[in-house]
Structure 1
């Protein structure tokens, strides 16, 4: 290949995409993943790439590395440092990847070998690309671990991936990507599966890296709060096209494409200054089908509230809105914030009646493992069990939603699995509409099993990879709802429409759907049985904001129509505020705070709740990052706490009393149902938190 000279490389953008188009040729036809993408990334710049699932974001990322399968037909050009990547030989590509271009994936476990310690895995990358001996490579690994904020970097390399938390795994992968000081760092949804505190520290790290290294960064995400935090410029992608591109502040303050305005309006917001909560807006329909050929019209026209005759007669080209701001829209000057309609006030839910709650749990306990004796069959116990849930109380009324929040390892998923019987409880009481529930699902009655359905965090694990997705929905309809075989197809199509998917997807296998699309199928399957209680474990974490808004409104509508209840587990505090009537805050298997939603998410709150709220990303580039960051991770509990369960990480710890005495249960300002477990009196907590909030506002305005 003909390499560019050093002068050309210095003057050229780091990465330049010119009319990139990627089509996958399959036995089912051609899938146009990318139709038209033109982008540039400069050195030291972070470009955020956003859009719904299936828009082609990840395909663009892989195209930058020429990392597409043989079934892909690529048109246009991808230039890296002035050179066309398509002209690189296989040997040159191997030298390029991991050295000058590195990638951080959404799931860190896909990048780490489970059978190797993490240190040698990074050493392998270093030895392949850099001329370093074994001792120098080991020292480089320690330096990399220090640079990404991993505690005890000297020993970290000796651990296997399964011995690390999700945040630690992601930091290791980022360290691996930085091993050879790459010129381009591609990050594909690197914080999606992380809880808010871990996500906040990773975002802090990325912002620091942006200032410390001169690499260009492509940051792919569907979380607009994350994009506002890290990006310098933002490109919005729809149906394989770049529909808007602008500097981050310009895009958030003055969006000029209807799709961008729609995405921003889908983000859950707290009540306004008038105290009134508004219904979440959503973008109707679904993304233009990748199997459909290009038409002589705007691809967004079927969903656009601004559509006119010109939009149906020709396809718009990117128009210059202002310096550095383009929008692929004929009527970009007519785009306003209220384009998708005025925000409507949410209907108030009726107060719960005095009937038995749908779900009642008292002193719920679940321990894992332990009980191993010193001499196998006798002697003292040498391995205590992990205390996943310790004396947890919760109550879910009919037609109400209980949100459960907390970091990874706090016991949220264990609570969900104990409720539905996938994990037998070790103590306490569980009741469904006043009837006792056996711990194991196999011991429960058929009516009890059909009255409770669960939606898992990873939809791939709940869908049969060998069968079309309609199998999961029609099976639930026939088994639990008593629908006949002939009626199940029609009802399945209705459910697909309800969760924002084209019924044509019913004949596809799970591997042919994106993660967000798979999650919508899982929700449709759960709704099929019309259960009394749906337990949703991170059910919207894999969804982009537009589909998330559709699903949240769908959940609310379904609840109003059927009167069913939800237990909703999430690490997104904006989502939990929107959907929940009550919130349970778990930490290390213990209840930190419990009560009405607005009371829990306002001042005063438990110091742990305060830390979670502080870490949540805000979809506003001008928002000043809050200062509270929790060091370390949730402890693995093999013995009971002597004092407060949160004392080891609490930023408001007041002394030895926190280490030596269990915290008292206090009533919060939310009334009899609002409980805070903390040694600090509630009025003092309120004063401390309001003072910190005032200082934060002063820093933001200065």
Structure 2
């Protein structure tokens, strides 16, 4: 029976416990929420707080090991009473889900068009011709170019953003009443993320569906949500309209999350230190006690918080909070906004890392007749004549979209990919291209933290193995001191030392990344190359790690090469920034100069696309369609001409751009045909690009 007066989704006192051989894991302890038609509810919190479990519970998609208490009503009906056939009709038809990784939803052996047609035939009983026509309409509705032909492609032939658009089209195929989005933009570039967020905002108004948007990115939540629910340790601790929550948080945890987001310098030009939430999330294996679960980490905790359990109560119109001291919450409870201490100038004239004309091509040498004849395909030009310099105690940030050459640069620096040409030096000493040809001291002096922490950890050994090995092999720590040092490193990256005896599979992605960072710090290297090292971390843990990086840099004088797509993070950690596009340097110079006007049009597009944790911020509309090209031949003109929103004309296609000195001084370089003066005039006056989105 459908009750039209009932909320679309009504979840009351949901509790989900997973019973495993290692004990009971209380993923969700007490969660209640409602979603109405045409409304987007943002669900935020740290890893392990139960956000994804709530999303799967709404689909009744939990394994048999899960014990579920409480109730979930969809359009007034209790989904726990649905039969298997009724659940099949519900999923994909009236409730649809979009996952973080689009490839988990797409069959790699099928073209994407037939995959959507299959959904339409199953749920709507359309014939082949009607299903094909509807598929084209869906592709068009999510902004995919050439909707008539794109259905003939396989998933691997699409970019990440295009794959996610296909998955959203599949979710919309049956006009669902509820759309569940679990971190749908987390793995995407900032430019692609911006176009997907634009699409979600448009869809909310167009299809009048309820949306549950799960994310740890507060900037994304501010952009798309109408209301926000904050989870901690399996409980909803605060819920409010988006502007109320961002402007007047009423739970210390929410205020802490907002204080952890890196911010640009204030109106006074002073840059502030990043604040963080100490400790880690309440362990899911611990039983509920008569106390506030956030109490051990809370700056407002009192005796009442230790002896009583706070309830979710109203603190204002439509604003709920689970806190005894909600009226005391303000921006200052997590400490004063202290001015960041400026780094001293480098004492040594010899840089920690120096690279000149770094070049790396992939796939060369194939010939028509295997060993002779003309080349079959030119090599992919991943890096083309890239220069960089990192002084001791300084940080170089490298930014750009996927395919820009960031990770290739990182792997060439540490020797995992031998460069084809160019000069590379460590503290004035020449480095061989292959890591195996470098000395043991050179290998110890340079460590890398990878984007995927799972690949850095042995799945069959406790995580202490990775940290202990680094302490023993690179730091020379004696066996009797290893456990103590390992515990110190775990505390430093915000993990309880009890995690040392767990397997990697028993940790969340964010927790695994912290272990990888602890392993890198164990060696006390001269240079740490971090490839998206904080991309998988929650803002609270990210703040801890960024503060840790800065503290260790001040203590040891080591240098960082920091690769990320988060411009807020790169602004905070970097002294200098290198902007890469298609293996070429678009802009290079001091951090504030690069991220201020004037800047290269590509840098401008990246800044425009970055989500801002402010629901009142007016989004800019410079959008880059398509993806970074795979280059097999040298550009005749500017490397960015094919997508540039400020393209001048034929000169951009026929002549390589000149290297211009930017306003940041001798070390600031911009490669563009538009003069620096004209760029400044266009960007400061807010002149719209002549062909935005091209």
TM-score by length of 1: 0.97
Supply the distance in 2 between the matched residues of 1:444 and 1:73 (Cα, whole angstroms): 54
Q: Which runs of 5+ in 2 are unaligned?
A: 690-694
Query: Which of 257, 269, 273 matches 2:267?
Result: 273
Map Cα deviations across residues 125-172 of structure 1 (whole Å, 9 max, x no partner): 222212112222222222211111111222222222222211111111
Map Cα deviations across residues 275-296 of structure 1 (whole Å, 9 max, x no partner): 1110000001111111111111
Q: Does 1:139 align with 2:133?
A: yes
CA contact (8 A) 2:414 2:435 kept: yes
1:596 aligns with: 590
**1:81-92 correspondence runs (5 A):** 81-92=75-86
Supply the distance in 1 between the matched residues of 2:138 and 2:457 (Cα, whole angstroms): 39
**1:503-514 correspondence runs (5 A):** 503-514=497-508
1:17 aligns with: 11
CA contact (8 A) 2:358 2:422 kept: yes
2:447 aligns with: 453
CA contact (8 A) 2:348 2:392 kept: no
**SS of equivalent to 2:685:** helix
Map Cα deviations across residues 158-201 of structure 1 (whole Å, 9 max, x no partner): 22222221111111111111111111111111111111101100
Tell me which moved more, 328-337 or 48-57. 328-337
Per-residue deviation at 1:455? 0.8
Per-residue deviation at 1:555? 0.5
2:153 aligns with: 159
Q: Does 1:262 align with 2:271?
A: no
Q: Does 1:360 align with 2:370?
A: no
Map Cα deviations across residues 557-592 of structure 1 (whole Å, 9 max, x no partner): 111111111100011100000000000000010000
Supply the distance in 1 between the matched residues of 2:501 and 2:429 (Cα, whole angstroms): 40
Map Cα deviations across residues 420-441 of structure 1 (whole Å, 9 max, x no partner): 1111111111111111111111
Per-residue deviation at 1:413? 0.8
Q: Does 1:578 align with 2:572?
A: yes
**1:168-179 correspondence runs (5 A):** 168-179=162-173
2:489 aligns with: 495
1:386 aligns with: 380
**SS of equivalent to 2:244:** helix
- What's the Cα RMSD here? 1.3
Per-residue deviation at 1:373? 2.5
Map Cα deviations across residues 79-122 of structure 1 (whole Å, 9 max, x no partner): 11111111112222122111111111111122222222222222
Per-residue deviation at 1:380? 2.3
Map Cα deviations across residues 646-678 of structure 1 (whole Å, 9 max, x no partner): 111111111111110000000000000000000
Supply the distance in 1 between the matched residues of 2:361 and 2:135 (Cα, whole angstroms): 37
Query: Which of 428, 434, 458 matches 1:440?
Result: 434
Q: Does 1:405 align with 2:389?
A: no
1:559 aligns with: 553
* Number of residue-to-residue matches in the alignment: 689
Supply the distance in 1 between the matched residues of 2:368 and 2:146 (Cα, whole angstroms): 30
Map Cα deviations across residues 388-440 of structure 1 (whole Å, 9 max, x no partner): 10000011110110000001111111111111111111111111111111111
1:615 aligns with: 609
Query: Which of 638, 654, 662 matches 1:660?
Result: 654
2:692 aligns with: none
Query: Which of 25, 35, 43 matches 2:37?
Result: 43
Tell me which moved more, 482-491 or 143-152. 482-491
Tell me which moved more, 375-384 or 98-107. 375-384
Supply the distance in 2 between the matched residues of 1:472 and 1:137 (Cα, whole angstroms): 52
Supply the distance in 2 between the matched residues of 1:165 and 1:457 (Cα, whole angstroms): 19
Q: Does 1:631 align with 2:629?
A: no
1:699 aligns with: none
**SS of equivalent to 2:202:** helix
Query: Which of 73, 79, 84 matches 2:73?
Result: 79
Query: Which of 213, 216, 222 matches 2:216?
Result: 222
Supply the distance in 2 between the matched residues of 1:520 and 1:101 (Cα, whole angstroms): 35
Supply the distance in 2 between the matched residues of 1:107 and 1:486 (Cα, whole angstroms): 43
Structure 1 residue ranges (4+ consecutive) displaced by more than 4 angstroms after TM superposition: none
TM-score by length of 2: 0.98
Per-residue deviation at 1:694? 11
Supply the distance in 2 between the matched residues of 1:92 and 1:203 (Cα, whole angstroms): 32
Supply the distance in 1 between the matched residues of 2:665 and 2:63 (Cα, whole angstroms): 59
2:89 aligns with: 95
